[in-house]
């Protein structure tokens, strides 16, 4: 973690954003990450939710004056092993996800951010970097609650992308990044009005610590 990041976050806020550490929170991208939205079906309605969530983050970063943006979004239709998704989700939750134990099939998915729209009921998760410039984001089925509830899927995807950007959890049930160990679960995002839940001030400070106005992708 850089000293630049520490300068932006008061200690109490830092502790709130630090739990849990299993997803390598506070690790910043050094490239402009491409996003592959991977689904089993071309008509999956969550594809639009994923694209909307990417736009949400890019609008937020722009409004903050950050030099960082998520890169282009590509739609990919291909089958993905549900057992592999369950396995990796469990590894992330246990804090044990590493390149050497990530299912090979998932490592081979396209995109710097491989955002996989699953068809089964694992726990949605964003993993750590599993390569120099690759992260996996797994989203559970939306055919049953809580993701079948209105407004939940777009926020759940935005929440997991927040982890992929380097943010951790907080305990404010009215905020986008609320999560374990707090008693916040995706059903809290339910709303008849389509909207994204807000970030906390400490989180916008954290984003600017990771991705200041001067941020530029590394060149090799």
List of domains in the chain:
3-210 (3.40.390)
| Contact yes or no for 8/206 (Cβ under 8 A) | yes
Q: How far apart are CA 167 and CA 209, in angstroms?
A: 11
Return d(Cα 12, Cα 183) in angstroms, integer. 19
Q: Calculate the CA 173 to chain-centre distance.
A: 18
Q: Which of 206, 210, 176, 39 is nearest to 111 (CA)?
A: 39
Going by DSSP bridges, is the β-strand pair 135-139/125-126 parallel, antiparallel, or unpaired? Answer: antiparallel
**Across-strand partners of 38?**
76, 116
Distance CA 147, CA 120 (A): 12
Whole-number pLDDT of residue 166: 97
Residue 16 tokens read as 């709130």
Which residues neighbour 201 within 8 Å (Cβ) at sequence distance 6 or greater?
A: none
pLDDT at site 220:
58
- Supply the pTM of this predicted model: 0.89
Output the furthest CA–CA distance in the chain (Å, rounded): 47
What is the per-residue pLDDT for 108?
A: 96
Digits of tens for pLDDT over the chain (220 positions)?
A: 333 333 333 333 333 333 333 445 688 999 999 999 999 999 999 999 999 999 999 999 999 999 999 999 999 999 999 999 999 999 999 999 999 999 999 999 999 999 999 999 999 999 999 988 999 999 999 999 999 999 999 999 999 999 999 999 999 999 999 998 999 999 999 999 999 999 999 999 999 999 999 999 997 5
């Amino acid at each position: 973690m850089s000293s630049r990041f520490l300068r932006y976050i008061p200690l109490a806020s830092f502790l709130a954003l630090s739990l849990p550490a299993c997803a390598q929170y506070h690790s910043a991208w050094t490239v402009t990450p491409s996003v592959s939205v991977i689904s089993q079906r071309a008509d999956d309605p969550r594809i639009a939710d994923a694209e909307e969530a990417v736009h949400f983050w890019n609008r937020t970063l722009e409004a903050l004056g950050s030099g960082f943006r998520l890169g282009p979004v590509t739609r990919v239709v291909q089958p993905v092993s549900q057992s592999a998704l369950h396995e990796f989700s469990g590894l992330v939750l246990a804090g044990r996800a590493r390149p050497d134990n990530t299912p090979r099939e998932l490592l081979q998915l396209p995109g710097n951010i491989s955002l996989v729209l699953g068809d089964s009921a694992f726990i949605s998760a964003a993993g750590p970097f599993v390569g120099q410039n690759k992260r996996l984001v797994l989203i559970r089925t939306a055919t049953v609650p809580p993701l079948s509830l209105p407004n939940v899927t777009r926020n759940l995807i935005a929440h997991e992308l927040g982890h992929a950007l380097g943010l951790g959890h907080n305990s404010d049930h009215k905020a986008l990044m609320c999560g374990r160990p707090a008693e916040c679960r995706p059903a809290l995002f339910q709303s008849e009005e389509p909207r994204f839940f807000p970030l906390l001030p400490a989180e916008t400070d954290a984003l600017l610590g990771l991705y200041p106005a001067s941020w530029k992708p590394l060149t090799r």
